[in-house]
Amino acid sequence: MTSSRVGRGRHAHGALVEGGTTDRDALGMGIVRSARLKPPPRIPSWVLKVVMAVTGVVFALFVLVHMIGNLKVFTGAEHFNEYAHWLRTVLQPFLPYEGLLWILRIALMVALVAHVWSAALIWRRGRASRGRHRRPGMWVKNFTARTMVVTGIVLLGFVVFHVLDLTTGTAGVAVDTFQPATPSTAHAYENLVSSLQRPWVALAYMVSMLALFLHLAHGLWTVVSDVGFTGVRLRTVAWWVAGVVALAVMLGNILIPIAVLMGVVA
C-alpha cells in the first residue's frame, strides 16, 4: 500500500466482518474481500470440460454405432447372433478372440471414469462457486442442462445393469436362461429377447433411453463450446446434429423393447 492512511481509529469498531474476520486491507481498497474463494485448481475447469467433451463424443459415437448394431435384431436371430459373433472374432488373427471388444471395453471404461470424475469435480466446483443461494426460476428451455446430473446417474446405473444383464449374465439381474457367448457362437438374440420380455426391464430400458436422449442432446451441444467453436454457422449445425443424433439413438433403441413387448421380435 503506497498511501498514507490515517484516521482509521474512529470507525475501527465498524461491524465489517466476512466469515468472522475483518479484512481491513481489502476494505482499504474499497472491497469486502481480497482473498479468492479458492486457490487455482490443479486442473482448470476448462480442461475438465474438454475431457468431458472428448469422452462424451466417444460415448456418443459408441451409442450411435451400438444402436445401429442393435437394429440388426429386426433382421432375425441368426443374423443378429452372427453380428455378435463377428464382434468377437473381428480382426483375427491380428487380435485375439474378443480382442477388439476388450480394447473398446477398456477405452470406454477409461472414458467413463474420466467423464464421471470430471463431472463430479465440475458439479462440486459449481456448487461452491454459486454459494448458499441456489438459482431458482430458470427457463424451461434448459431442462436438459439442469438434469444432466440426474440423467447421468440414471445412465450410469443403466450401464451397470446393462452389463450385468447382457454381458456377464450375472444371476439376479440377467434372465435364468442366459447363455454366455463362446468362441464358436453367440446367443445375444435369445438373451436380449428374454431379458426384454420382462416388462420392468423393458420399461427401465426405455426410461434409460429417454435419459440418454436428454443427456446426449445437451452434452453434444455443449461439446462445441467446450472445444471452443465460436463460428455461428458451425454452432447452429452442431445444435441440430446434437438433437438429431440424440433422437435417433433414443428412437432406434426404444423400438426394440417395444417390438419385443408387442411380440414382433420373439
Partner 1 sequence: MKLVMDVWRQAAPGEAGHYETHEVDDATPEMSLLELLDRLNFALVENDREPVAFESDCREGICGACGITVDGIPHGPQQNTPSCHQRLASFHDGQRIRLEPLRSAAYPVIRDLVVDRSALDRIIVAGGHVAVPGGSAPDADALLVSHERAEQALDMAACIGCGACVAACPNGAAHLFVGSKLAHLSLLPTGRQERGKRARAMLNEMEQDFGPCSLYGECAKVCPANIPLTAIAAVNKEGLRSFFRHKDD
Partner 2 sequence: MRGRWRGPSSHVDGVTVGGVLDPHAPDAPYDSAWHRRKLDYRLVNPANRRRFKVIVVGTGLAGAGAAAALGELGYQVESFTFHDAPRRAHSVAAQGGINAAREDTADNDSLQRFVTDTVKGGDFRGREVDAFRLAEESMRVVDHLNAIGAPFAREYGGTLATRSFGGVQVSRTFYARGQTGQQLQVASAQALQRQVHAGTVTLRVRHEMLDLIMDGDRVGGVVMRNLISGDITAHTAHAVVLATGGYGNIFFHSTLAKNSNASAIWRAAQHGAHFASPSFIQFHPTALPISSQWQSKTILMSESLRNDGRVWVPTRPGDQRPANDIPETERDYYLERKYPAFGNLTPRDVASRAATEQIRSGHGVGPLCNGVYLDFRDAIARLGRHTIAERYGNLFHMYTNATGEDPYEVPMRIAPGAHFTMGGLWSDYDLMTSLPGLFVGGECGWGYHGANRLGANSLLSACVDGWFTLPHTVANYLAPHLGTEPLADDSPQVRAALSRTRARADALLAIGGTHGPGHFHRLLGAILYEGCGVIRSRETLEHAIGRIRELRAEFWRDLRVVGTGLHLNQELELAGRVADYLELAELMCVDALDREESCGAHFRAEHQRDGEATRDDKRWAFASAWQVGTDGGFIRHHEPLHFDTVPLTTRDYR
Segment near partner 2 (CB under 8 A); pick from 7-15, 102-110, 203-211, 223-231: 7-15
Backbone angles phi, psi at 47, to 5 degrees: -70, -45
Name which of partner 2, partner 1, none residue 5 binds, using a CB cut-off of 5 to 8 Å depending on partner kind.
Answer: partner 2
Instruction: For residue 214, give the nearest of 136, 155, 138, 126 by alpha carbon.
Output: 155
Q: Which residue, 7 or 39, has its beta carbon nearer to partner 1? A: 39
* 134 contributes a contact to partner 2 by CB under 8 A: no
Name which of partner 1, partner 2, none residue 10 binds, using a CB cut-off of 5 to 8 Å depending on partner kind.
Answer: partner 2
* Cα–Cα distance list, 231 to 200, 225, 234 (Å): 45, 10, 5
In 3-state terms, what secondary structure has residue 186?
coil
Q: Which residue, 223 or 260, has its beta carbon nearer to partner 1? A: 223
| Other Cβ atoms closer than 10 A to 151 | 23
Name which of partner 1, partner 2, none residue 129 binds, using a CB cut-off of 5 to 8 Å depending on partner kind.
Answer: partner 1
Q: Give the shortest CB-17-to-partner 2 separation in angstroms.
A: 11
The whole-angstrom separation of Cα 77 and Cα 190 is 8
* 262 contributes a contact to partner 2 by CB under 8 A: no
Q: Give the shortest CB-19-to-partner 2 separation in angstroms.
A: 16
The whole-angstrom separation of Cα 256 and Cα 115 is 28
Quickly tell me which residue has 473398446 as its cell: 104
Instruction: For residue 162, give the nearest of 223, 99, 108 by alpha carbon.
Output: 108
Per the CB < 8 A criterion, the answer to whether 58 and 107 are in contact is: yes
Name which of partner 2, partner 1, none residue 45 binds, using a CB cut-off of 5 to 8 Å depending on partner kind.
Answer: partner 1
Q: Which residue, 4 or 230, has its beta carbon nearer to partner 2? A: 4
User: How does DSSP assign 6-20, residue by residue?
Assistant: ---GGGTT----BTT
Name which of partner 1, partner 2, none residue 7 binds, using a CB cut-off of 5 to 8 Å depending on partner kind.
Answer: partner 2
- The total number of residues shown for the chain amounts to 266
Name which of partner 2, partner 1, none residue 1 binds, using a CB cut-off of 5 to 8 Å depending on partner kind.
Answer: partner 2
C-alpha dihedral sign at 23, 29, 33, 36: negative
C-alpha dihedral sign at 53, 54, 56, 61: positive
Q: Which residue, 184 or 230, has its beta carbon nearer to partner 2? A: 230
Instruction: Build a one-symbol-per-residue string for 32-61: x at contacts with partner 2 by CB under 8 A, - elsewhere.
Output: x-----------------------------
* Near partner 2 in 14-33, by CB under 8 A: 14-16, 27-32
Q: Give the shortest CB-242-to-partner 1 separation in angstroms.
A: 11
Q: Give the shortest CB-7-to-partner 1 separation in angstroms.
A: 20
In terms of phi and psi (left: phi > 0; alpha: psi -120 to 50; beta: otherwise), the region of 19 is left
Q: Give the shortest CB-41-to-partner 2 separation in angstroms.
A: 22
In the complex, which residues of this chain contact partner 2 (CB under 8 A)? 1-8, 10-11, 13-16, 27-32
